[in-house]
Structures are given as C-alpha cells and as structure tokens.
Amino acid sequence: MDRFSEYRVMWVLVLYDLPTETKKERKAAADFRKRIMGDGFTMFQFSIYIRHCPSKENADVHIRRVKSYLPEHGKIGILCITDKQFGEIELYMSKKSVQPSTAGQQLELF
C-alpha cells in the first residue's frame, strides 16, 4: 500500500462552541484555541480547526492531545476523515464556489 495514499492520509477537524460570558470563560476559550494551534491546527472557519496528518496513527496522537486540552465547559467535537473524503468538500463564498486551500504537505526526511 502506498504510504501517502489518499485513504491513509488523514485530516483531523476540531469543532467547538465554548462559553465566553465571563473573563474566566474567555481565557479558557483562548487557551484552548492557542493550544490546538500550537499543535499544528489551523483555522478552517470560526471555531473549526483542521490538521493534516500523514497517517491514522499520527492523527490519533493529535486527537489525544486535543482531548488533554479540553476546557471545563463547552462543546467540542473531533472528527477524523481521509484525505480522499476531505478532497470532496465543496466550499462557497456566498454563492461563488471557491477552491479549498490545503495545508502544506508534510516533508519526510530519509
């Protein structure tokens, strides 16, 4: 099996809705966002962050990290899909179709 098969390469999506009514809640939300960004996630839409992973095993590592960052309150969803599935996404800016911007390909050193 090809190491970089579009069925083996994964995308991890973190979707969240965190409370921000108090100063403590805003800090917890900001800390969660900073921590997932520090782990290589990039904003896809507001409160939706994505990360490209070369394998399911690597995706599992990042999913465990996100779980370790969970704040006390709020709703967080974690979704893992293949590169093939992600490639089927249709994106629109109003009614105009746009091409998805993909994260940089991860380099491998031999």
> Can you give the three-state secondary structure of the chain, one letter per residue?
CCCCCCCCCEEEEEEEECCCCCHHHHHHHHHHHHHHHHCCCEEEECCEEEEEECCHHHHHHHHHHHHHCCCCCCEEEEEEEEHHHHCCCCEEECCEEECCCCCCCCCCCC
* Residues constituting the chain: 110
Which pLDDT tens digit goes with each residue over 68-103? 999 999 999 999 999 999 999 998 888 888 877 655
- Hey, which CATH number is domain 10-97, 3.30.70.270, 3.40.50.300, 3.40.109.10, 3.30.70.240? 3.30.70.240
Which pLDDT score is estimated for 6?
74
Assigned token pair, 56: 């399911």
Per the CB < 8 A criterion, the answer to whether 84 and 8 are in contact is no
Which pLDDT tens digit goes with each residue over 33-71? 999 999 999 999 999 999 999 999 999 999 999 999 999
Which pLDDT tens digit goes with each residue over 17-32? 999 999 999 999 999 9
User: Hey, where are the domains in the chain?
Assistant: 10-97
